[in-house]
Structure 1
Amino acid sequence: MAGNTEVGAGAAATAERRGGPMVRVEDLHRSYGTGAAAVHALRGVSFEVPRGELVALRGRSGSGKTTLLNLVGGLDSPDEGRVTVDDTDLAALGENGMLELRRDRIGFVFQSFGLIPILSAAENVGLPMRLRKAPAREREERVELLLTLVGLAGHAAQRPGELSGGQQQRVAIARALANRPALLIADEPTGQLDAETGLSVMELLRAVVRTEGVTALVATHDPQLLGLADRVLELNDGEITEGRAV
């Protein structure tokens, strides 16, 4: 696991060179629809995520968690306010710049796993590196390291349908880390898993933050999982109503 230490050290050095938090959200508003039928998903949300921390976002269904994650990840644009990720103002990026940011500096993990059924675990993990045309040797070494990191070194050749739900989510986490992102965004990553498996996946995310030197913003409603976060933000009806350190 020496490679893991080297990767983590490199990420830590990068974090030291950069200034400010990994994520800064300022007075964020997002609505859907118009007039009386408008749904105000976010109402003036502001917060920061320090580098190297795992911050959990808690809130009931419909509180605005997914909308907020989509805005932080550059998958949607706010009506008002500003999002800064890794010292980059998302509003200043054009379409190509946004695509590069999502490809190279942000990793996404979703509740539905999102793996490609016809590809093996190793091929799924290596796909982001193929998209940026990384050399074959680099891809192979990184895939091997990541599958070892998530405890699936012996399952590289298996396809998603041959893996359990927890194993699939571990593959999804490894894929999200393929291009060494600065920020990992996870939307209810344990939502389809039983309690024991969900806890093991959340513990893996906790370990990934330390090993890979990545910052994580994770939406979850499971009280048991919230205890693994460095900080918890409470989202209620589109507003941050509480934040606590763990």
Structure 2
Amino acid sequence: MVEVQDVWRSFGAGATAVHALRGVSFTARRGELTALRGRSGSGKTTLLNLVGGLDAPTSGRIMLDGTDLAGLDEAGRLTMRRDRIGFVFQSFGLIPILSAAENVGVPMRLRKVPAAQREERVQTLLALVGLADHAEQRPTELSGGQQQRVAIARALANEPALIIADEPTGQLDSETGRSVMQLLRAVVRSEGVTVLVATHDPQLMELSDRVVELRDGQIVD
């Protein structure tokens, strides 16, 4: 599903250049939850941004579901992100004035999915994440764990092949964080989606199929 080949990402040039990634290579298989482990500054977020098409590598190659991201122009990357990738952020990223159901429906509105089909998908996803009874509540009326569950439902809206989650439990207590990770684990099974999650919490590694450790921009064997 994801193939990263000898990827470098540098910022700046010459003696002052900062090498955030140094020859990173790994694969994430379809229908697998892969955890990127490493301390802050290890390169996890940089790598997720590259795989998600939010940034481009200095050198190397990234294949996503058979597509070489380097061969896409900005419009092509935008379409890839909209149709094939779902994003889950540490800060939830929900729109405050919208209800849970409306937040989940936003990606489908961008694709101009018919209203009846959109509403059915929203109901299905809120049920999947255990929030069917909270559809009309706004983010401020939900707990942190519930907000992240809405964010996961939103990430699934367009039936992506890949979900990228950057520290999805970073603002949650350990018990709630584990519940969210268990939900991601269940999503892998029920939706057949690939999940790539960055975390520094060793307790969450137990729920992953594979753990890829980054240290100073390099994969640690």
Partner of 2:102: 123
SS of 2:213's partner is: strand
Which amino acid in 1 is paired with 2:118? R
Q: Is 1:212 matched up with 2:191? A: yes
Map 1:123-162 onto structure 2 (within 5 A). 123-162=102-141
Q: State the distance in 1 between where 2:171 and 2:16 align.
A: 32
Q: Is 1:66 matched up with 2:45? A: yes
Q: Is 1:237 matched up with 2:216? A: yes
Q: Is 1:110 matched up with 2:110? A: no
Which amino acid in 1 is paired with 2:184? L
SS of 1:227's partner is: helix
CA offset at residue 33 of structure 1? 1.7
Partner of 2:58: 79
Partner of 1:187: 166
SS of 2:164's partner is: strand
Q: State the distance in 2 between where 1:35 and 1:161 align.
A: 47
Q: State the distance in 1 between where 2:168 and 2:14 align.
A: 34
Greater than 3 Å deviation, 4+ residue runs: none
Which amino acid in 1 is paired with 2:151? A
Instruction: Give me the identity figure in percent.
Output: 78
CA offset at residue 113 of structure 1? 0.4
SS of 1:198's partner is: helix
Q: Is 1:37 matched up with 2:16? A: yes
Count of residue pairs the alignment pairs up: 221
- What TM-score do you get using the length of structure 2 for normalisation? 0.99
CA offset at residue 94 of structure 1? 1.3
Partner of 1:92: 71
Partner of 2:25: 46
SS of 2:20's partner is: strand
SS of 1:46's partner is: strand
RMSD: 0.6
